[in-house]
Amino acid sequence: MKRSFSWQAGSDHPDVECGVRGVRGRAEPESATVLIVDDDARLRNSVRDLLLAYGFRCISADSGGQALEILSGQSIDLMLLDLNMPEMDGQQVLTRVAEHFPETAVIVLSGESTFESATEALRRGALDFLRKPCAPDELYRVLKSVLHKRGLEQEVQAMQRRLEASEQRYRFIVDNSPDIIYMLDEKGHFSFLNERVLSLLDYSGEDLLGRHCSELVHPEDRDKARFAFAERRTGRRASSNVEFRLLCHDRGQPDHSPGLHSIFVELSASGIYSDNNKKGVYLGTYGVVRDISERKRAEELINFQLFHDLLTKLPNRALFRDRLELALSRARRNQSLLAVMYLDMDRFKVINDSLGHLAGDRLLQAVASRLRSCLRGSDTLARVGGDEFNLLLPDIAGRDDAAMIARKILDQLKVPVIIDGYEVFSSFSIGIALYPEDGESIEELVKSADMAMYHIKGRGKNGFEFFSDNMKGIFRKQVTIESGIRTALKEHQFELFYQPQMDLCSQRICGMEALIRWRHPERGVILPDEFIPVAEESGLITEIGSWVLEEACRELGQWQRAGFTDIVLAINLSAAQLVQADFESSILGALKRNGIPGNRLELEITENVLMQDMDQAASRLQQLAIQGVRIAVDDFGIGYSSLGYLQALPLHTLKIDRSFISEIQSPDDRNSIVTAIFAMARELGLEVVVKGVENEGQVAYLRRLQCSRAQGFLLGHPATAEKARALLQR
């Protein structure tokens, strides 16, 4: 109707274009295209002329058939239709138009004006009925009115179509939203739910319509969700991002009731009011619910990682402190007791180094699960370091309870753990501190338990000990010594003394043992027994060991250059030095730098240290032995009962512990162990050094045994480097 056209109607009726277009897009009646259908050419032409004069566009058709043909080719706003026509009369045309061209308005203009034909025409869809001949004003008025009405109708239809399309669009958006979108009535019952509720909670919208929103909320979260779900507030005060759990549909329940399975959601909602502000009547709530289960899972994992040890899945130090803090405030309130244990696995490093880290990890896991099996649900066991665990026992009746648990733990570990086919035995040193007597704060309790643990470690391990006040003094002293050692290393306060070893047959000095001294600026000379254990405990021993090696080799180099080329210098090694990555290279390097042949240096290692990791010790010492370096077993005879290692290691010397010789006073005394050691050493091709020779009787006794090397106060005290050099010269 709005386009122009150029169709040539019948031969004698060219189409005419004229009229004015309305400003709002809808065709004004005058610019409408009118199809005049009449078999009477005269009448057709006169109507056309009349309408052209009014500004209409006109097309004429002389029959019903031609009219339908024109309609199918172009859009016609209005048809003026005669009823009486040959072949196809006006009523038939009306029927066809109603069927195929419903948008075309039809006015009947007919000579036939019976009531029946008029009614019939109106029934078939004609909008008005005019009798021929018709006054021009009347025709114009009716045409205008019909076209106006039709225009309005079409506008409404177009609007409706637009509305439908828009609603479809919105529904699509709402139903395909990744979130649940809901509306509640003013009493909190669901009045609308989009389709997301099906995929998320397994409900269809209909299941929930009319039900109260709280039915969907997990019982534990109902308080939290009550006001948010049926939010009445609007704007910034309305609920946003409130987290709680929604229950999913339990398929097993016929009444659509929620099951126990739930998901975490985040809800934002706002009240709906009749006139869009809070002064209006409250109509209900509109809200959006987002599934945040994935995020929650990620948060939980991160939280777990933050507060747990991932290897054993036990709480870590941070969580332990948190639990201890809670337990302490409860104990304070209830005036009850609690115990804190510090557990340190004995010899874990040895197992880790010998069987490998994977096996070490598996041992830790197995041990953690055994420890857990000894505990109640309310106890907290935490892994606070490589092989260190803390245990909190809240609400104990007394120290017997704690002792019982410690015993249980030690018993549990008596059965070996099987790893890679090996039976691995593990044990713990356990220190116990009690609240309130051994400390009232987290720090005090953990420290007291730690001190007690060190105490039992120093006394043979594999046991437990309660904290006692005199440990405090010991601990304080150890801390002072430790910081003193650091200063001593920095300020060169360490010094080596040398104690001679004599060949009792030739009465000549054949060797020296380097013994460390700490020349303390205030306390004078401090002996190693006081600081070496602390250095070993704190790890400072490796630094001290390196210094001793360098210093001893420097001195030995000077002896070599002074012509004392047959003197063997012995130095003492600690366990930590033997496992250092550069153990062999540092020794060989020191020898080379000072021009010393390997066989002038002897490394004294105690039985206990050698046994900690035999395989590693054997392979590392072997490399040194190849270069001639001598290996001595220090304190021989008091450590291990098994002697198998004597053949497995590249040994040269056995240094017999002082205790064996101390009882001998005269050459006629008998000590079968000493005799046996000499016999065995001879058999194995090993040299024997006897320590602690203090009197002539012992010298005579040893001479009878043909002892080649002896050491003791009688033969020479440990002395400064200067004095040792003078002694050599003499």
Q: What does the binding site for ligand C2E look like in residue numbers (CB under 6 A)?
A: 499, 515-516, 527-529, 532, 548, 572-574, 604, 634, 658, 692-694, 711-713, 718
Of 105 and 532, which has the nearer Cβ to ligand C2E?
Answer: 532
d(CA 710, CA 661): 11
Of 15 and 602, which has the nearer Cβ to ligand C2E?
Answer: 602
DSSP string, 372-427: HHTS-TT-EEEE-SSSEEEEEEEEESSHHHHHHHHHHHHHHTTSPEEETTEEE---
Of 47 and 573, which has the nearer Cβ to ligand C2E?
Answer: 573
Looking at the DSSP assignment, which residues form a beta bridge with residue 343?
389, 430
Give the count of residues interacting with Mg ion (CB under 5 A).
3
Q: Which does 170 bind (CB under 5 to 8 A by kind): Mg ion, ligand C2E, none?
A: none
Minimum distance from CB of 515 to Mg ion (Å)?
A: 7
Of 463 and 528, which has the nearer Cβ to ligand C2E?
Answer: 528
Of 35 and 532, which has the nearer Cβ to ligand C2E?
Answer: 532
Of 52 and 611, which has the nearer Cβ to ligand C2E?
Answer: 611
Q: How far is CA 265 from CA 75, 201, 204, 229, 292, in A?
A: 56, 11, 18, 11, 5
Q: Which does 653 bind (CB under 5 to 8 A by kind): ligand C2E, Mg ion, none?
A: none
Q: Interface with Mg ion by CB under 5 A: which range of 46-54, 192-200, 219-227, 600-608?
A: 600-608
Q: Which position has the token pair 């000579």? A: 111
Q: Which does 186 bind (CB under 5 to 8 A by kind): ligand C2E, Mg ion, none?
A: none
Question: CB-based contacts of 663: which residues, under 8 Å, 6+ apart?
Answer: 669, 671
Minimum distance from CB of 606 to ligand C2E (Å)?
A: 7
Residue sitting closest to Mg ion (CB): 604
Minimum distance from CB of 511 to ligand C2E (Å)?
A: 13
d(CA 257, CA 272): 28
Minimum distance from CB of 604 to Mg ion (Å)?
A: 4
Minimum distance from CB of 717 to ligand C2E (Å)?
A: 7
Of 52 and 715, which has the nearer Cβ to Mg ion?
Answer: 715
Q: How far is CA 527 from CA 530, 532, 635, in A?
A: 6, 9, 18
CB 393 within 8 A of CB 324: no
d(CA 616, CA 623): 11
Q: Interface with Mg ion by CB under 5 A: which range of 55-63, 334-342, 434-442, 602-610?
A: 602-610
Q: Which does 234 bind (CB under 5 to 8 A by kind): ligand C2E, Mg ion, none?
A: none
Minimum distance from CB of 493 to ligand C2E (Å)?
A: 14
State whether the Cα torsion 391-397-403-408 is positive or negative.
Answer: negative
Minimum distance from CB of 574 to ligand C2E (Å)?
A: 4
Of 105 and 576, which has the nearer Cβ to ligand C2E?
Answer: 576
Q: Which does 716 bind (CB under 5 to 8 A by kind): ligand C2E, Mg ion, none?
A: none
Residue 657 binds to Mg ion (criterion: CB under 5 A): no
Of 227 and 713, which has the nearer Cβ to ligand C2E?
Answer: 713
Question: CB-based contacts of 75: which residues, under 8 Å, 6+ apart?
Answer: 1, 2, 3, 33, 103, 104
DSSP string, 611-642: HHTHHHHHHHHHHHHHTT-EEEEEEETSS-S-
Of 168 and 507, which has the nearer Cβ to ligand C2E?
Answer: 507
φ, ψ of residue 161 to 5 degrees: the values are -65, -40
What dihedral angle (degrees, nearest 10) is formed by the CA atoms of 349, 353, 359, 362? Answer: 20
φ, ψ of residue 121 to 5 degrees: the values are -65, -45
Q: Would you state the structure tokens that stand for residue 565, as one six-digit string?
A: 């080329």
Minimum distance from CB of 614 to ligand C2E (Å)?
A: 20
Of 17 and 530, which has the nearer Cβ to Mg ion?
Answer: 530
d(CA 590, CA 595): 9
Q: Interface with Mg ion by CB under 5 A: which range of 10-18, 171-179, 205-213, 567-575?
A: 567-575
Q: Which does 499 bind (CB under 5 to 8 A by kind): Mg ion, ligand C2E, none?
A: ligand C2E
Minimum distance from CB of 723 to ligand C2E (Å)?
A: 14
Of 32 and 632, which has the nearer Cβ to ligand C2E?
Answer: 632
d(CA 78, CA 58): 10
Of 384 and 532, which has the nearer Cβ to ligand C2E?
Answer: 532
Looking at the DSSP assignment, which residues form a beta bridge with residue 88?
none
Q: Which position has the token pair 């338990």? A: 449
CB 535 within 8 A of CB 485: yes
Q: Interface with Mg ion by CB under 5 A: which range of 7-15, 221-229, 392-400, 572-580?
A: 572-580
Minimum distance from CB of 496 to ligand C2E (Å)?
A: 7
CB 489 within 8 A of CB 547: yes
Of 194 and 606, which has the nearer Cβ to Mg ion?
Answer: 606
Q: Which does 718 bind (CB under 5 to 8 A by kind): Mg ion, ligand C2E, none?
A: ligand C2E
φ, ψ of residue 301 to 5 degrees: the values are -65, -45
Minimum distance from CB of 714 to ligand C2E (Å)?
A: 7
Q: Interface with Mg ion by CB under 5 A: which range of 122-130, 272-280, 387-395, 570-578?
A: 570-578
Q: Which does 515 bind (CB under 5 to 8 A by kind): ligand C2E, Mg ion, none?
A: ligand C2E
CB 244 within 8 A of CB 221: yes
Of 163 and 638, which has the nearer Cβ to Mg ion?
Answer: 638
Minimum distance from CB of 547 to Mg ion (Å)?
A: 17
Residue 711 binds to Mg ion (criterion: CB under 5 A): no
Q: Which does 482 bind (CB under 5 to 8 A by kind): ligand C2E, Mg ion, none?
A: none
Q: Which does 404 bind (CB under 5 to 8 A by kind): ligand C2E, Mg ion, none?
A: none
Binding mask 607-646 for Mg ion (x = CB under 5 A): ---------------------------x------------
Residue 604 binds to Mg ion (criterion: CB under 5 A): yes
d(CA 680, CA 674): 10
Q: Would you state the structure tokens that stand for residue 122, as one six-digit string?
A: 């109106």
Minimum distance from CB of 497 to ligand C2E (Å)?
A: 7
Residue 448 binds to Mg ion (criterion: CB under 5 A): no
φ, ψ of residue 35 to 5 degrees: the values are -105, 120
Looking at the DSSP assignment, which residues form a beta bridge with residue 258?
249
Residue from 572, 594, 606, 653 in contact with Mg ion (CB under 5 A): 572
Of 65 and 528, which has the nearer Cβ to ligand C2E?
Answer: 528
Minimum distance from CB of 707 to ligand C2E (Å)?
A: 14
* Maximum distance among all Cα pairs of the chain, rounded to whole angstroms: 169
Q: How far is CA 454 from CA 434, 482, 608, in A?
A: 16, 15, 18
DSSP string, 9-75: -STT---B------TTSSPPGGGSEEEEE-S-HHHHHHHHHHHHHHT-EEEEESSHHHHHHHHHHS-
Q: How far is CA 33 from CA 77, 147, 551, 697, in A?
A: 5, 10, 120, 147
The contact set with Mg ion (CB under 5 A) reads: 572, 604, 634
